[in-house]
Amino acid sequence: MNGRRDSRTVSALVVLALAVIVLGLAGACARGRPESVVLEYYYEVICPSCPESVRSELQGSEVRLLGNVHDHVSAESRDVMHGDGMERLRQTALKHDVDTNALMLPILFVNGELYVGFDAIDEYLRTWGK
């Protein structure tokens, strides 16, 4: 009887120790890594410089901000005139309580924060990660 109780006690202590270690490591990892960054860029093709210039700048900023930790960045770009681009823009705007009647292109959402127009987007990208 005592042997069974002792093995249960040891098993319980091992499980408890593992739980403490796992929780400690999870906390350390969370403190050492940046939060997830979600970039959502909406544009129109009729502005030929929009997709190339800003998308390449987004990719460059991604590298500058996070170095090699790309798994924390999710970047999407959508042409609002093709496919479901306009509907996705409306859904994203509604999700972040943005008036869909006041939207102008290009638009960048960064974790829900809204940047409208080249000037605002360029300013954000210049200061990103500083």
Question: Both tokens of residue 71?
Answer: 């798994």
CA terminus-to-terminus distance, the chain:
64
Given a cut of 70, the residues of the chain with pLDDT beneath it are 1-35, 45-73, 128-130
Would you call 120 exposed, middle or buried from its count of C-beta atoms within 10 A (0-12, 13-18, 19+)?
Answer: middle
pTM of the predicted model as reported, rounded to 2 decimal places: 0.56
Distance of CA 103 to the CA centre of its chain: 22
Domain boundaries, the chain: 1-32, 37-127
> What fold does the segment set 37-127 form as a domain?
Glutaredoxin (3.40.30)
* 108 CB-side CA count, 13 A: 22
Instruction: Give 70's contacts (C-beta < 8 A, 6+ positions apart).
Output: 62
Q: What pLDDT does residue 87 have?
A: 94
Q: What pLDDT does residue 48 have?
A: 54
